Every structure is written in structure tokens, then in C-alpha cells.
Amino acid sequence: MALYAISDLHLSLSIDKPMDVFGSKWQYYMDRIRTNWMQEVKEEDYILMPGDISWATYLEQSYKDFEYINNLPGIKIISKGNHDYWWSTASKLNQYMKNNNFNNIIFLHNNCICYKDIVICGTRGWNCPGDENFTQQDQKIYLRELQRLELSLRQSMQYEHKAIIVALHYPPVNKNKDMNSGFVELLKKYKVSICVYGHLHGELHKNVLEGEYEGIRYYLVSCDYLNFKPLKLME
């Protein structure tokens, strides 16, 4: 049993929003994701998917996209991205999966999830102070997302565990990779081992934060950055 991560699938099986407008790298991306996934992931594996899963606006529009995900091997742990407009309450999301027999999809939504002796926490995240055009409204959302992350991390304390993994959609730092962000402070406070995040595409890959800093390993897992192949985090 292994643990993988991949984000920003931007599936558009239910609506007409092709991703190849963002460059030739995105051509046939859904076929490429499926091929790579099938070659790599087994049914007993877990896959973190931190956001931007489907272009659907409403949950009812997302059926084909979740069918696509459900038909791939592994247990998927999905958290929210900035383009997941279909996102709803935990009860509605879980009920929709149950009604459609999508039985290998779990939502990370103000909670935490156990994988063997690892606890998985997370939230969407947001732009960090120091980013260009950071506004008072951004500050409000940023603080709210910090609260949501700490809520998830606090819940992890009720489990005996060897490590904590955090899944964010936004990077935990600003474009200058300033490690003094509130997200990084929480990761250090709760002794998180790994942080995965997405959101960055194309030219923004130059802002990637990867590697180990103060005992925490950071990975960008946007699917175009990974060449549409899930990244194995651990066995």
C-alpha cells in the first residue's frame, strides 16, 4: 500500500472547457492521466488530490468527472481548490458520492484522515501576505484558512501517529517563498513531515517551493508539473 499525490486535474467531461488552450502540454491530458495512473496506482493505494478537480459549477454537473475518478484504482482523498465551484457541505458531498456509488472517494473538509500510522490534514489555503496586490479581503480569507488548517491539525492530535501530512491547494508561502507565512508556522507547530500543494501552472512553476526546510518536505503536485503522473510520497 502506497501513498501518492496529484492535483489540478481540471476535468471537463461534463462541460466544454478544454485545457489545451493553456498550451500543447495539456493536449489529451485526461487520457494521459488515466494511462499513467493505471500503470502506477493499485487498488489499495491512497491518492491525495488537493484541489481543482473538476470544472463543473454545480455538484450535479460533476457526475462524469467523479465517475472518471472513481473508476481509477486507489482511494482518493480530495480537498478543495479555488476552481472547485461545485464544492458543498461535507454531508452533501458524501451523500452525492453514496447516491452514485462512488465508493473510493473521501473528502478532506474540516477534518483529518488516517493512512496507516500517518494522519492527513489540510485545507484550501490562500494567497499569502507579501504577494503582489494582496488586499484586505485576501487577509480575511488567509486568516480564515489558517483557522481551518489548525482545526484539521488539532483533530490529528486525537490519533497516535508517526507523521502528519498536510495537503493544501495554494502554496504555503508567497511568490518570494518567504518561509515566515502563517501556514509554515502551523506546519512547524504541529511537526508536520510533508506538505503537498498545487495551483501553480506553466510559467508559475518558477515559483515552486520544493525540498526540505526545517524538517518539512514540500512538493508541488500540479498534474502538469508532474507530467500527469501521480507522485509517490511513501510506501
Domains of the chain: 3-234 (3.60.21.10)
- Residue 39 three-state SS: helix
- CA pair distance 221, 169, nearest whole angstrom: 9
pLDDT value at residue 94: 96
Q: State the sign of the Cα–Cα–Cα–Cα dihedral 117, 147, 177, 137.
A: positive
pLDDT value at residue 227: 96
Backbone φ, ψ for residue 177 (5° rounding): 60, 45
Tens-digit pLDDT profile for the chain (235 aa)? 899 999 999 999 988 777 766 677 888 999 999 999 999 999 999 999 999 999 999 999 999 999 999 999 999 999 999 999 999 999 999 999 999 999 999 999 999 999 989 999 999 999 999 998 899 999 999 999 999 999 999 999 998 888 999 999 999 999 999 999 999 999 999 999 999 999 998 888 888 999 999 999 999 999 999 999 999 999 8
Comparing C-alpha atoms, which of 74, 21, 23 is closest to residue 44? 74
Torsion of CA 77, 80, 86, 91, to 10 degrees: 60
Please write the tens of the pLDDT for every residue from 97-132. Answer: 999 999 999 999 999 999 989 999 999 999 999 998
Put simply, whether the predicted model's pTM sits higher than 0.75 gets the answer yes
DSSP strand pairing (118-123 vs 216-220)? unpaired
Secondary element (H or E) of residue 197: strand 194-197
Task: State how far Cα 202 lies from the chain centre.
Answer: 18
Torsion of CA 82, 84, 87, 90, to 10 degrees: -70
Task: State how far Cα 8 lies from the chain centre.
Answer: 8
Q: What separation, in Å, do the N-terminal and C-terminal C-alpha atoms of the chain show?
A: 6
**Which amino acid does the sequence have at 210?**
E
